[in-house]
Amino acid sequence: DIQMTQSPSSLSASVGDRVTITCRASQGIRNDLGWYQQKPGKAPRRLIYAASSLQGGVPSRFSGSGSGTEFTLTISSLQPEDFATYYCQQYNNYPITFGQGTRLEIE
Amino acid sequence: QVQLQESGPGLVRPSETLSLICTVSGGSINNYHWSWIRQPPGKGLESIGYIYYSGDTRSNPSLKSRVTISVDTSKNQFSLKLTSVTAADTAVYYCARGRDGYDSWGPGTLVTVSS
């Protein structure tokens, strides 16, 4: 299985900050990567697919980049509703695997 | 806008079979892949498997042969069966649309394995 490793595992930030989360794959996955946001007690919501394509309805402050083994999710200006846990997910190779999550907390 | 809803028992005894149904509304189950994902309490996400509306299916090898996913297009539903459950199968189970990525999710249902 492809291992997905996110860093950091947790992050404290303030409203208005620019935040970047990194996801590394144990082997090359081209751009077969998605990013999800999950709030407590809720299902995940997809933000990004194909590494950099924004899911419909997702604010433009979210962006994704990368290919191969290293990927980033950037939130350009944190809003109060962005405090959540974020997961990367690869779909290049079956089984689909997720990163362990990055918890974004209010500083 | 498509909506998904999981249903099934919230408590399953060890060694028994976990059975869940996902009902799709607001759209047809046809021409899409549909998946099951689970999340143990306080932990990360694990893909279980997927099914195409035609019945083609694939499951995570980590779950070996315990998983069966089926589809009923006449009812706009698909289902999950997981046999020989243990406490390690306690999780929130989600159904979702898609195979490689999931653009719509059900709210999830907590299934606890306990005697």
pLDDT value of residue A22? 98
Higher pLDDT, B87 or A107: B87
Q: Which of A54, A96, A98, A103 to mutate against chain B (most B CBs within 10 Å)?
A: A96
Whether residue B97 is predicted with pLDDT greater than 90 in this model: the reply is yes
Q: How do residues B1-49 score in pLDDT, each as one tens digit?
A: 999 999 999 999 999 999 999 999 999 999 999 999 999 999 999 999 9
Q: Using one digit for the tens of pLDDT, what is the confidence trace for A26-83?
A: 999 999 999 999 999 999 999 999 999 999 999 999 999 999 999 999 999 999 999 9
pLDDT score of A60: 98
- Residue A80: what are its φ and ψ, rounded to 5°? -55, -35
CA separation for the pair A57, B80 (Å, rounded): 30
Specify the 3-state DSSP secondary structure of B6: strand
**Chain B residues with beta carbon closer than 8 angstroms to that of A97:** 47
> How far is B74 from chain A, CA to nearest CA, in Å?
26
Burial class (CB in 10 A: 0-12, 13-18, 19+), A60: exposed
H helices present in chain B, as ranges: none
Answer yes or no: are the C-beta atoms of B57 and B10 closer than 8 Å. no
Strand order in the sheet with B67-72: B3-7, B18-25, B77-82, B67-72
Query: d(Cα A27, Cα B46) in Å, to the nearest integer?
Result: 19
**β-bridge pairing B11-12 and B109-113:** parallel
Q: Note the pLDDT of residue A63.
A: 98
CA-nearest residue to B109 within chain A is A43
Summarize pLDDT for B42-83 with one digit per residue, the tens.
999 999 999 999 999 999 999 978 999 999 999 999 999 999
How confident is the model at residue A106, as a pLDDT? 87
Cβ-in-10-Å burial (0-12, 13-18, 19+) of B115 comes to exposed
